[in-house]
């Protein structure tokens, strides 16, 4: 796609993501009306309001593009160009009035994410990136941290929704990194975890069992900020894969060593 077209698309995406995020934030003082998709996986009416607004806008502006969104929207996803939308990333936080949540929109072209936007309405922080053009926070270029030792690093992670049912639940990796890093945090929003790593607030991030809409936009923002992103073995990252390891690059191998260490 030509640069001018991506620039124009980015401007339209920013318009809808900011207006939607601000609207949800204004409405969020009301009752959340929580329902459950699983033991720890919930959804609110605001997830659906956000999705409806964004999907309708994207269909109108880009009728030839497919859309894959968290709340059961699967429209034209076999097309070479499609949107990946998380209408409210961090729903559990949102439902508990914890102000750590965001909206995430990525654009995939022929299997590659070329545009990513993540908006946090609670802090008015807009992260954005176009492939090959750098990453930005509220229009200012961002870059990853320069921390070179894992022992000096602040890391972030999350846990899968089947944590109660599956032994593959990230608790083993969490325990390892707690003993190796300066500290480990768990915020509850994969999109913000990736963006915070991109702008140097975190030095590294890992997680398992994410959906493509969780990580599409954030993964591009991290790469464009100079970061490194792979699976746990160092193989090319895939938004449809089940492992993500993102870092400032300096500590990437050190994190891989911890992730691939044999259990005693």
Contact 87, 54 (CB under 8 A): yes
**Residues in a beta bridge with 245:** 206, 230
Instruction: Answer whether residue 214 shows pLDDT above 90.
Output: yes
> How big is the chain by its Cα radius of gyration, in Å?
18
| Distance between first and last Cα of the chain | 50
Residue given tokens 């954005």 in the structure block? 128
125 in any annotated domain: yes
The pLDDT assigned to 43 comes to 65
Average pLDDT for 17-23 = 97
The pLDDT assigned to 2 comes to 44
- Same domain as 116, residue 18: yes
The pLDDT assigned to 57 comes to 97
Q: Into how many domains does the chain fold?
A: 2
- Same domain as 131, residue 158: no
Q: The domain that contains 206 carries what CATH number?
A: 3.40.190.80
- Same domain as 65, residue 180: no
The pLDDT assigned to 262 comes to 82
For residue 217, which of 94, 120, 73, 98 has the smallest C-alpha distance?
A: 120
The pLDDT assigned to 72 comes to 80
264 in any annotated domain: no
Instruction: Answer whether residue 39 shows pLDDT above 70.
Output: no
Distance, CA of 57 to CA of 16 (rounded, Å): 7
The pLDDT assigned to 118 comes to 98
Instruction: Answer whether residue 88 shows pLDDT above 50.
Output: yes
Average pLDDT for 236-242 = 97
Average pLDDT for 86-100 = 94
For residue 125, which of 11, 13, 22 has the smallest C-alpha distance?
A: 22
Mean pLDDT of the chain: 92
- Same domain as 226, residue 173: yes
The pLDDT assigned to 26 comes to 92
Degrees, nearest 5: CA angle 58-59-62: 75
Confidence grade of residue 244 (pLDDT, cut at 50, 70, 90):
very high
Write out the residue range of the structural domain in which residue 51 sits.
3-141
Portion of the chain with pLDDT greater than 90, in percent: 81
Pairing of strands 73-75, 81-89: unpaired
Average pLDDT for 44-57 = 92
Distance, CA of 75 to CA of 203 (rounded, Å): 36
Average pLDDT for 61-66 = 96
- Same domain as 224, residue 110: no
Confidence grade of residue 70 (pLDDT, cut at 50, 70, 90):
confident
pLDDT digit string, tens, across residues 127-166? 999 999 999 999 999 999 999 999 999 999 999 888 888 8
Contact 58, 65 (CB under 8 A): yes
Q: Which residues of 56-89 are buried (b: 16+ CB within 10 A; e: fewer)?
A: ebbeeebeebbbbbbbebeeeeeeeebbbbbbbb
The pLDDT assigned to 217 comes to 98
Residues near 139 by beta carbon (within 8 Å), at least 6 away in sequence: 126
Question: Cα separations (Å) of 192 from 187, 188, 248?
Answer: 8, 8, 15
- Same domain as 167, residue 116: no
Instruction: Answer whether residue 46 shows pLDDT above 50.
Output: yes
- Same domain as 165, residue 248: yes
Query: Which residue among 141, 173, 202 closes a domain?
Result: 141
Note the pTM of the prediction, 2 decimals: 0.93
- Read off the DSSP letter of residue 77: T
């Amino acid at each position: 796609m030509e640069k001018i077209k991506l620039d124009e698309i980015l401007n339209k995406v920013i318009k809808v993501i900011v207006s939607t995020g601000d609207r949800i934030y204004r409405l969020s003082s009301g009752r959340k009306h929580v329902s459950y998709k699983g033991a720890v996986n919930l959804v609110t009416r605001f997830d659906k309001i956000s999705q409806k607004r964004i999907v309708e806008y994207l269909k109108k502006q880009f009728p030839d593009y497919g859309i894959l969104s968290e709340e059961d929207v699967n429209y034209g996803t076999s097309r070479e160009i499609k949107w990946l939308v998380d209408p409210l990333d961090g729903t559990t936080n949102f439902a508990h009035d914890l102000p750590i949540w965001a909206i995430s929109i990525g654009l995939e072209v022929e299997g590659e994410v070329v545009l990513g936007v993540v908006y946090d309405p609670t802090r008015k922080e807009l992260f954005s990136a176009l492939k090959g053009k750098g990453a930005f926070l509220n229009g200012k270029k961002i870059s990853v941290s320069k921390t070179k030792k894992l022992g000096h690093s602040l890391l972030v992670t999350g846990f899968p929704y089947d944590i109660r049912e599956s032994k593959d639940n990230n608790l083993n990796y969490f325990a390892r990194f707690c003993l190796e890093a300066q500290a480990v945090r768990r915020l509850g929003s994969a999109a913000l975890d990736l963006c915070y790593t991109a702008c140097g607030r975190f030095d590294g991030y890992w997680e398992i069992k994410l959906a493509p809409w969780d990580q599409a936009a954030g993964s591009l923002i991290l790469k464009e900020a100079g970061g490194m992103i792979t699976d746990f073995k160092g193989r090319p990252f895939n938004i449809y894969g089940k492992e993500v390891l993102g870092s400032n690059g300096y500590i990437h191998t050190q994190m891989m060593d911890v992730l691939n260490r044999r259990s005693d």
